[in-house]
A = this chain, B = another copy of it.
Amino acid sequence: MASPSHTPPPDHGGADSVETRSPELRKDPVTNRWVIFSPARAKRPTDFKSKSPENPNPKKPSSCPFCIGREHECAPEIFRVPPDDDDDPNWKIRVIENLYPALSRNLETQSTDTNRSNLNRSIVGFGFHDVVIEAPLHSIQLSDVDPVGIGDVMIAYRKRIEQIAQHDSINYIQVFKNHGASAGASMSHSHSQIMALPVVPPTVSSRLDGTKDYFEETGKCCLCEAKAKHFVIDESSHFVSVAPYASTYPFEVWIVPKYHSSHFHHLDDVKAVDLGGLLKLVLQKIAKQLNDPPYNYMIHTSPLKVTESQLPYTHWFLQIVPQLSGVGGFEMGTGCYINPVFPEDVTKVLREVSLA
């Protein structure tokens, strides 16, 4: 396991230890994996703070190709969202190709060449890897943008997903954001990424298995029950933010649609703005409570080709993870995670954060 900055030395053998609450293992059908809640390793929930806060207004580097006016230094643009003022010749959001794509958009014709040998399998690396520049100015972070503007980012994701979904070889599309260097961001200019894969990734298969089991047992979609089964922090007209029952990471938050929906890209414009408002609230609360930590968010949607029978139990959501701890040999070896904070306590803390 890792040595989170907020915990006592986890592999230490000295000094006093006060065990206040027994450890507990929890699993839920969505993640389908055990998490070890280990409160003896934590300080009080309100003591969690990032030791490497992100500067909310980073000084603009001398050469940021994501900044307005430097568009010519970027890989090709796919589309842009125009500014609200029609007279402004510039842009509000740009979707561009990643200059160092992990997958190549030029390999489609070969993409069915699956080589399945006895031991090893390989597929040519066809796919898309795009970047969404969320604001023209370097000083603006996503949580600074108003709900309508964050809604526009969600709509840009939707539009790009709809385009990529035309490619029959693509089976899953992962939208994610890395905020801060230790969350994996190499560029400080606010942006997110869209990666389209020829395979259905393991977390998705595992999630479908888990939510199917739940549906067969109860007749219900387990994400439709988020309000009842997890720990509610806030809600908007169409979404709820919760600390999940078996949170993998400390202060992890999910935003779950209150209506049943299999795919993120079915989101309409009204709901996109509503989502923008709740996402802004969660990001602001996390930044305030945890000292502006690096964070990731991931949109967990369904494979593009879900079958009719899967529809009753596939339900998208957005996961937000502040980066407060690292990963060590235990997590790499087992795939189990150790979380020092119960979500019951996270909910209490995040409900009460004052943004005034």
Write the residues of chain A forming the contact surface with B, with a CB cutoff of 8 angstroms: 1-3, 7-15, 17, 19, 22-29, 32-34, 36-38, 40-41, 63, 65-66, 70, 73-75, 96-104, 107, 118-125, 127, 131, 133, 172, 174, 176-178, 181-187, 191, 193, 195, 197-199, 201-204, 206, 214, 217-218, 222, 225, 229, 245-246, 296-300, 319, 321, 326-330, 332-336, 338
Which of B121, B178, B327 lies in contact with A27, CB distance below 8 A?
B121
Say whether A8 contacts B100, CB under 8 Å: yes
Say whether A119 contacts B225, CB under 8 Å: yes
Say whether A11 contacts B185, CB under 8 Å: yes
Chain B, Cβ-Cβ closest to A297: B329
Say whether A186 contacts B102, CB under 8 Å: no
CA distance A29 to B29 in the complex (A): 24
Q: Which residues of B contact A41 (CB under 8 A)?
A: 100, 102
Say whether A40 contacts B296, CB under 8 Å: no
Q: Which residues of B contact A198 (CB under 8 A)?
A: 25
Say whether A65 contacts B12, CB under 8 Å: yes
Q: Which residues of B contact A8 (CB under 8 A)?
A: 99-100
Whole-angstrom distance from the CB of A65 to the nearest CB of chain B?
3
Copy number in the complex reads 2
Say whether A22 contacts B70, CB under 8 Å: no
CA distance A121 to B28 in the complex (A): 6
Say whether B174 contacts A334, CB under 8 Å: yes
Whole-angstrom distance from the CB of A153 to the nearest CB of chain B?
15
**Other contacts beyond A12-B99, A14-B63: 12, CB < 8 A:** A1-B178, A3-B184, A15-B65, A23-B125, A28-B120, A28-B121, A38-B103, A41-B102, A183-B328, A183-B329, A197-B336, A202-B334
What are 10 pairs between A and B in contact, CB < 8 Å?
Answer: A7-B100, A12-B187, A13-B65, A14-B75, A23-B103, A32-B202, A184-B329, A296-B328, A296-B329, A299-B333
Say whether A13 contacts B119, CB under 8 Å: no
Say whether B11 contacts A187, CB under 8 Å: yes
Also in contact, A298 and B37, with CB within 8 A (given A10-B102, A15-B65, A27-B121)? no
Which of B1, B33, B107, B118 lies in contact with A214, CB distance below 8 A?
B118
CA distance A27 to B117 in the complex (A): 11
Q: Which residues of B contact A185 (CB under 8 A)?
A: 3, 11, 328
Say whether A176 contacts B98, CB under 8 Å: no
Say whether B118 contacts A10, CB under 8 Å: no
CA distance A122 to B251 in the complex (A): 19
Whole-angstrom distance from the CB of A278 to the nearest CB of chain B?
19
Which of B28, B96, B202, B332 lies in contact with A34, CB distance below 8 A?
B202
Say whether B296 contacts A124, CB under 8 Å: no
CA distance A37 to B104 in the complex (A): 11
Also in contact, A3 and B104, with CB within 8 A (given A24-B123, A25-B122, A27-B120)? no
Q: Which residues of B contact A133 (CB under 8 A)?
A: 13
CA distance A11 to B186 in the complex (A): 7
Q: Which residues of B contact A297 (CB under 8 A)?
A: 329
